[in-house]
């Protein structure tokens, strides 16, 4: 059975213009799980990961607004909360879909820690905006009182930015593999995982956000996946994105992807990390990576949709 890692983008959980009510999120996740169950019925062994941007953002707003009543939690704890929230919904929705199809399979969402290093250059250059917008006055106080790094976001106010370090390894890797061996469908490294550093005697959570596609790539390597599928809200990766000359890519080698990446075709924070994750997966494993629209997931697995990034052509051709 081909083992694949599927990374679910934000639109698998909250659709454009939705506020993210419980009903909206559950409904979207149910629809997504229909596709995941179909993959499993077709014989793929699926390992799932997912984004958490809006969910952790909301938890941060709740923390901020209720700070006088309830002690706010640090970002790593908020990340864990969001993994629990989304893991629960996906675990329940997928199990429900299995039940309705008569598939005998257990599903488990794992609170997952991902190792990062304080030597990562990201720690001296925080770039990832998170949580609520603040006015300048409040932003200034947060810098003084909490040591936050705050950046102005194009007219919308001030926002905290945190480092986005590279994932080095998945702490729960062994248990994930044991669960897979036991035939369990695993949801892991949600929201890029909870970033932790190794202090020898113990692990310590840090205030950072790991890109979920890069963490998904680590997961894909760690479980020995043959394919890494990133599902998002565009049908393909484009060159000259947003310009009249934009062109969709169907199938490119990893060398071609690296060349286009160096030419600046993929925006940082969105398509950039997806293409980076795709390249790493192909380079490090010789497997294939696919970036496709959520609706096209099954066609993408058949090779009929999405952008496919493949190993370099043999014999130097």
The two three-digit tokens of residue 29, written as one number: 């996740």
Q: Which is nearer to ligand ADP, 8 or 109 (CB)?
A: 8
**241 counts as binding ligand ADP under rule CB under 6 A:** yes
User: CA angle, 301 as apex, 304 and 287 as ends, to 5°?
Assistant: 115
**20 counts as binding ligand ADP under rule CB under 6 A:** no
267 is catalytic: no
**256 counts as binding ligand ADP under rule CB under 6 A:** no
**232 counts as binding ligand ADP under rule CB under 6 A:** yes
31 is catalytic: no
**234 counts as binding ligand ADP under rule CB under 6 A:** yes
Distance of alpha carbon 92 from alpha carbon 267, whole angstroms: 34
212 is catalytic: yes
Distance of alpha carbon 66 from alpha carbon 76, whole angstroms: 18
Nearest residue to the partner ligand ADP, using Cβ = 9
Q: Which is nearer to ligand ADP, 35 or 139 (CB)?
A: 35
- Least distance CB 2 / ligand ADP (angstroms): 23
Candidate ranges 88-96, 113-121, 139-147, 261-269; the one touching ligand ADP (CB under 6 A): 261-269
How many of the other CB atoms lie within 10 Å of CB of 146? Answer: 11
Using the rule CB under 6 A, which residue among 267, 303, 304, 313 binds ligand ADP?
Answer: 267
Q: Catalytic one among 52, 190, 191, 274?
A: 274
Candidate ranges 114-122, 265-273, 276-284, 298-306; the one touching ligand ADP (CB under 6 A): 265-273
Candidate ranges 19-27, 64-72, 149-157, 236-244; the one touching ligand ADP (CB under 6 A): 236-244
- Least distance CB 263 / ligand ADP (angstroms): 11
Binding mask 36-55 toward ligand ADP (x if CB under 6 A, else -) reads: ---------------x----
Question: If binding means CB under 6 A, how many residues of this protein chain bind ligand ADP?
Answer: 14
Using the rule CB under 6 A, which residue among 24, 64, 198, 233 binds ligand ADP?
Answer: 233
Q: What is the DSSP string of the chain?
A: --EEEEEE-GGGTS-TT----HHHHHHHHHHHHHHHHHHHHTT-EEEEEE--HHHHHHHHHHHHHTTTTSPPPPHHHHHHHHHHHHHHHHHHHHHHHHHHHT----EEE---EEE--TTSGGGGS--EEEEEEE-HHHHHHHHHHH--EEEEETTTEEEEEE--PPP-EETTHHHHHHHHHTT-EEE-SGGG-EEEEE-SS-EEE-S----HHHHHHHHHHHTT-SEEEEEESSSSEEESTTSTT-EEESEEEHHHHHHHHHTT-S-TTTHHHHHHHHHHHHHHHS-EEEEEEGGGHHHHHTTSSSEEEEPPPGGG-
**255 counts as binding ligand ADP under rule CB under 6 A:** no
Using the rule CB under 6 A, which residue among 3, 10, 38, 54 binds ligand ADP?
Answer: 10
Residues with a catalytic annotation lie at 10-11, 128, 212, 274
Contacts with ligand ADP, residue ranges (CB under 6 A):
9-10, 51, 232-234, 237-238, 241, 265-267, 270-271
């Amino acid at each position: 059975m081909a083992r694949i890692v599927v990374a679910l983008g934000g639109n698998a959980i909250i659709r454009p213009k939705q506020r993210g009510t419980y009903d909206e999120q559950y409904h979207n996740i149910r629809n997504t799980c229909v596709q995941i169950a179909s993959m499993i019925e077709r014989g793929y062994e699926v390992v799932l990961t997912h984004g958490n941007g809006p969910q952790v953002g909301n938890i941060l707003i709740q923390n901020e607004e209720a700070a006088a009543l309830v002690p706010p939690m640090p970002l790593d704890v908020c990340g864990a909360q969001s993994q629990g929230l989304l893991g629960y919904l996906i675990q329940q929705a997928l199990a429900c879909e299995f039940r309705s199809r008569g598939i005998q399979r257990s599903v488990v969402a794992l609170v997952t820690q991902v190792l990062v290093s304080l030597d990562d250059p990201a720690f001296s250059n925080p770039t990832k905006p998170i949580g609520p917008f603040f006015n300048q006055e409040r932003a200034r106080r947060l810098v003084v009182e909490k040591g936050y790094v705050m950046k102005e976001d194009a007219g919308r106010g001030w926002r905290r930015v945190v480092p986005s370090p590279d994932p080095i390894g998945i702490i729960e890797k062994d248990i994930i593999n044991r669960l897979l061996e036991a035939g369990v469908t695993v949801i892991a490294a949600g929201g890029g995982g909870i970033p932790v550093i190794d202090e020898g005697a113990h692990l310590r959570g840090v205030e950072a956000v790991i890109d979920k596609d890069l963490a998904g790539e680590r997961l894909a390597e760690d479980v020995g996946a043959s394919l890494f599928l990133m599902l998002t809200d565009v049908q393909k990766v484009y060159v000259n994105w947003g310009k009249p000359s934009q062109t969709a890519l169907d199938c490119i080698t990893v060398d071609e992807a690296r060349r286009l990446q160096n030419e600046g075709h993929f925006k940082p924070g969105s398509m950039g990390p997806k293409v980076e994750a795709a390249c790493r997966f192909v380079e490090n494993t010789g497997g294939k990576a696919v970036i496709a629209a959520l609706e096209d997931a099954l066609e993408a697995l058949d090779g009929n949709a999405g952008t496919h990034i493949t190993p370099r052509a043999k014999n130097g051709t």
